[in-house]
Amino acid sequence: MPGVYRYPPNDKLVNYVQDSYENGIRSIILFGIPSYKDEIASSAYDKNGVIQRAVKIIKDSFKDKIIVITDECTDEYTSHGHCGLVKYNNGCYVIDNDESLKIHAKIALSQAEAGADIIAPSSMMDGVVKAIRDALDGAGYNDTLIMSYSVKYASVMYGPFRDAAYSKPAFGDRRGYQMDPRNAFEALKEARLDIEEGADILMVKPAHTYLDVIRLVKDHFPEYPLAAYHVSGEYSMIKAAAINGWIDERTAVLEIATAIKRAGADLIITYYANDIARWIKEGVLF
């Protein structure tokens, strides 16, 4: 992904966050690439794991000037690349949803202990928001928010991220727990369940290829902040077209970001965040 880099949890990360802060960015979301993987994602809840160290160094350096959001999942940390624990049952591999909840709760708690302001569970496991809320509240982290990937589709648009994070499933796919792209109204069911379980912020992912779903969710749950995740494939398509001279990159990015906002998103997660912030500061819009 041209223009996107991975940073170690040291001064290089601090310098990047400082540059982003000076550019007007006030919140970041962290994804980790661990030094080791296993079948139970133990590196994801390691107190000295890559995310835990990254959160600590950012909060030590910036205090409350930067809101730190942590992606909470197992796919980057498991040897099999799935978003939950896998068991072999009746001749095939299946996701053990209930056992997975225990691991997700441990990961979320370790991230909160490190100083994360918002936990963002992305696994789409049934009941994951409640499991995390119970774990956080039980440990005294009542004020740590949950931004749930409530409406996450089984999309081809995640490909570049999976390459960068080495998180492709070793077998099968994620259609058993992520949503069918043909189904819009299931989004309301998933969002409602997450609200009932304690989510503070909802999310639709991907973003600009699911503008209708963003509007649908916002219309039905207007009182809840709604995030939209402009994912790696959406970013990469714009980049590729711009590199080949087929579109004007800045105009395309601003048009798409405006469309996501117009559809109903209150927050936009995007690899173009610094570019958009810089263009706004410069007064260079459409």
* Residue 153, marked binder: no
Judge whether 130 counts as a catalytic residue: no
* Residue 76, marked binder: no
* Residue 174, marked binder: yes
Question: CA-CA distance, 275 to 286, in Å (whole number)?
Answer: 14
Beta strands in 38-184 (DSSP E): 67-72, 86-89, 92-95, 118-121, 145-146, 151-152
Question: CA-CA distance, 220 to 109, in Å (whole number)?
Answer: 30
What are the Cα distances from residue 182, in Å, to 187, 209, 210? 11, 12, 11
* Residue 236, marked binder: no
Peptide bond into 206 cis (omega under 30): yes
Dihedral sign for Cα atoms in the order 118, 4, 62, 34: positive
Judge whether 65 counts as a catalytic residue: no
Beta carbons within 10 angstroms of residue 5's beta carbon: 8
Contact status, residue 271 vs residue 1, Cβ threshold 8 Å: yes
Contacts of 65 (CB under 8 A, 6+ apart): 21, 26
Q: Which of 37, 106, 152, 239 is catalytic?
A: 152
Contact status, residue 24 vs residue 277, Cβ threshold 8 Å: yes
* Residue 20, marked binder: no
Q: Which of 205, 218, 261, 281 is catalytic?
A: 205
For the sheet containing 151-152, what is the strand order? 151-152, 202-205, 226-230, 267-270
Instruction: Give the residue numbers annotated as catalytic, written as ranges.
Output: 152, 205
**Binding site, annotated residues:** 162, 174, 190, 232, 271
**Binding site, annotated residues for Mg(2+):** 190
**Binding site, annotated residues for 5-aminolevulinate:** 162, 174, 232, 271
